[in-house]
Structure 1
């Protein structure tokens, strides 16, 4: 199938599953207060839907989802359920008006969770009819969608269309799908179901963000994310990366307030005890840090030369120039000038080797204070 890129503007929704899939990451367990803090921050940035958890997991999870379901939030709240009527009834007791029901479809899942495809189809009417009677929005998830037999996926699409379900979620459960495969399948299934199409991507091969964008390009209405990309195994599509990508996209638009994202990422980093990697896109400390001499020299003249956008215009810190083994005089001069040192590039030429030598010896870039110290030791008398 040929690739047909989206040519019209489209508003897309972002479904955050930090409190469900994100908390399934090994070693992560939020307290109730921490969950509420995350909910408030997600609401503040304009998230469209919060997947609050799995009520069947236990009393603590049930109570939290129930308390959230009673709040008048400016965002949709949903709860996750297995393809089991008792689980669905447990979700109903929480009072949330949106339920997501995950259905095992592939040969890797069905035999080990429900036994046979016949058993899956045998449950469809009782589970979905009950759900339609008790929830405002009924969403089903085709677990392991892209490794599932096409005839099974088509059968569920037909059932969802006949029952006029709110949404179908297509899940790249093990993150192994290729972007063009995601695009082509979403494009095909989009024509078979008139409700909302949702994409849930995992990052096992580092493709979650790319696959999410391709799903949206193909006509999906929404995609799932987690803050900082936390989640099972290698995690999920990172909220911050998707939001900033959509902000730059010509046609796909979301209502996320990107200038408020950085504090949310820092909050979740604190609560999970997981330090944000230095080179993490958007929110990593080095995401807008430049050591190269060519880059530094050019950035001082045009900040967009080596950056996709001006970070301080979008709630992030301004770029910083550092001095390392690959740096040029512009980087050094920029730091010295910030200290009020009156010098020029010509004065630096004779001892640039010293900065590079010290950086190589350190196996890192120099701190601002180290740059000043080296300058003072090599060229005394230039301080204002």
Structure 2
């Protein structure tokens, strides 16, 4: 499954955000270090900023640069003028969106999309198509639309309002699989129900060819599928890195967040500063023996680090291990005294705890 990063476009559309040209260009260069297949750098029809970003990146990064465009000639021209590698033409396909967003019939929508795709094809640029609100569209209608755009290398099905859960995503994709070659199908999920990453993993298991992802799930409303979560999950559970440089995952994601002025919760999966921090006495004792006891993966695998803390909750077992590693000869009374000082001075890091043991009992 190829990955298309939408951080720079979706993140920039969040309320109160207005990433600068330099922020987007710098972030794209950082993303490129990961080995991302596609970077959706912007929506050129919105103005000069995204046009400049796409023009500069198209010749500068290894990833294919994607420009978003509505199924309108003016939007497509803006993308073409920016010398993008890929034009991603999007159009609503659900009955609800056709009525209230486009105000046109399904037949008219299909003609509009066909004309737009033909126009891109005539300019010899790679074509992707995104079907908005696809996961609230009848399967028969999806098949009809997909079959009308054979020129598109990928057709992405978007869960535009984050309305689907893994069970319904599985059903829709399996229904399609009997009629459509999934090697052309991509997915785009929003996290309104907290299911974006899970939905993407379901799509991966079924065999879709491409997924839109975003660093730290940055995106409109509740955000999009999290890049780092999908990569870590596929790598640890399926042995597939999706072409991403594992050891660079956390550092690059944090670099991009810093460049864009974005923050994440300290308990955010993969990226949060607290997720590999352990203080419970039972936990730290086990972690000193074998970290895999209470971690799904070694944080260093993805460029992170763990933190063991010792203090009031540290038990006798962990205290003995620290004293032993500090090279201290100890008995039960030594352990008792050490625990008392840990309680007073903690929480301390592992290195600080070793130093304390040496100061208290060293020769």
Give the TM-score of the pair, scaled to structure 2.
0.88
Q: Which residue of 2 aligns with 1:60?
A: 49
CA RMSD of aligned residues (A): 2.9
- Per the TM alignment, residue 368 of structure 1 is displaced from its structure 2 partner at its CA by 4.2
- Per the TM alignment, residue 51 of structure 1 is displaced from its structure 2 partner at its CA by 0.6
What per-residue deviation string (whole Å, max 9, x for no partner) do you get for residues 272-309 of structure 1? 33333221222211121112222211111112111112
Is 2:282 the partner of 1:303? no
Specify every segment of 5 or more residues in structure 2 that has no aligned partner in the other structure, as ranges: none
The partner residue of 1:165 within 136, 152, 155 is 152
**Shift in CA distance, 170/213, structure 1 to aligned 2, threshold 3 Å:** same
Is 2:208 the partner of 1:227? no
**Shift in CA distance, 48/327, structure 1 to aligned 2, threshold 3 Å:** same
User: 2:184, 2:209 within 8 Å by CA — same for their partners in 1?
Assistant: yes
Distance in 2 (alpha carbons) for counterparts of 1:272 and 1:124: 34
Is 2:27 the partner of 1:38? yes
Distance in 1 (alpha carbons) for counterparts of 2:87 and 2:178: 23
Distance in 2 (alpha carbons) for counterparts of 1:345 and 1:270: 48
Distance in 2 (alpha carbons) for counterparts of 1:108 and 1:383: 74
User: 1:169, 1:198 within 8 Å by CA — same for their partners in 2?
Assistant: yes
Is 2:199 the partner of 1:216? no
User: 1:291, 1:331 within 8 Å by CA — same for their partners in 2?
Assistant: no
Q: How many residues were matched structurally?
A: 360
**Shift in CA distance, 381/255, structure 1 to aligned 2, threshold 3 Å:** closer
User: 2:128, 2:154 within 8 Å by CA — same for their partners in 1?
Assistant: yes
Q: Which stretch has the larger CA shift, 222-231 or 130-139?
A: 130-139
User: 1:30, 1:271 within 8 Å by CA — same for their partners in 2?
Assistant: no
Q: Which residue of 1 aligns with 2:232?
A: 244
Q: Which residue of 1 aligns with 2:109?
A: 120
Q: Which residue of 2 aligns with 1:198?
A: 186
Deviating 4+ runs (over 6 angstroms): 334-338
Is 2:163 the partner of 1:176? yes
Q: Which residue of 1 aligns with 2:14?
A: 25
Q: Which stretch has the larger CA shift, 340-349 or 104-113?
A: 340-349
Give the TM-score of the pair, scaled to structure 1.
0.84
Is 2:72 the partner of 1:93? no
Distance in 2 (alpha carbons) for counterparts of 1:204 and 1:337: 50
- Per the TM alignment, residue 251 of structure 1 is displaced from its structure 2 partner at its CA by 6.0
Distance in 2 (alpha carbons) for counterparts of 1:330 and 1:278: 29
Distance in 1 (alpha carbons) for counterparts of 2:119 and 2:287: 60
Q: Secondary structure at the match of 2:171?
A: helix
- Per the TM alignment, residue 224 of structure 1 is displaced from its structure 2 partner at its CA by 1.0
Distance in 2 (alpha carbons) for counterparts of 1:345 and 1:122: 83
Distance in 2 (alpha carbons) for counterparts of 1:277 and 1:259: 22
- Per the TM alignment, residue 25 of structure 1 is displaced from its structure 2 partner at its CA by 2.0
Q: Secondary structure at the match of 2:244?
A: coil
Is 2:353 the partner of 1:382? no
